[in-house]
Structure 1
Amino acid sequence: MKIKLSILLSIFIILWLCIPSFALESTTQPLPQVKVYFIDVGQADSIYIQAPKNYNILIDAGNNDDGQLVVNYFKN
């Protein structure tokens, strides 16, 4: 449970740093989109985040044997 809580806290901090504060104050422009993907890599959790300004974040890509699985996910 502590690991999942730390992952969620990490995601929150990353998103808070990636979204500029002026975007939250503007009412005429749409807010930047953040997309979060959860990749099934067996026992491990892999999270891919696409944030504004071309920030791409991969959290825990799984075990070494799962590398090709993650690469195939990105290719698709």
Structure 2
Amino acid sequence: MICHICNKDFSSVVYPYHVERCQAEPKTPEDMKLPELKKYAELNGIDLAGATKKEDVLAAILKAGEGNGTEPQGSAADQA
């Protein structure tokens, strides 16, 4: 079974426990791997405009966060 949060493959016995742990430990976009970022963008309706590299996908996600009134993770530190 594939975890819908982190996209890792698990046996059906381990899967329910893993999902609980994944949900309890939310990641910021900066901490996600490329497949996780793409899934995050898909689930949040973020247009990646053909971005394929992690840096480009992350930039699109952070830019989308600026446009909807939410502050993307890490931007406060960037501005300091």
TM-score (norm 2): 0.25
**Greater helix fraction, Structure 1 or Structure 2:** 2
**Greater strand fraction, Structure 1 or Structure 2:** 1
TM-score (norm 1): 0.25
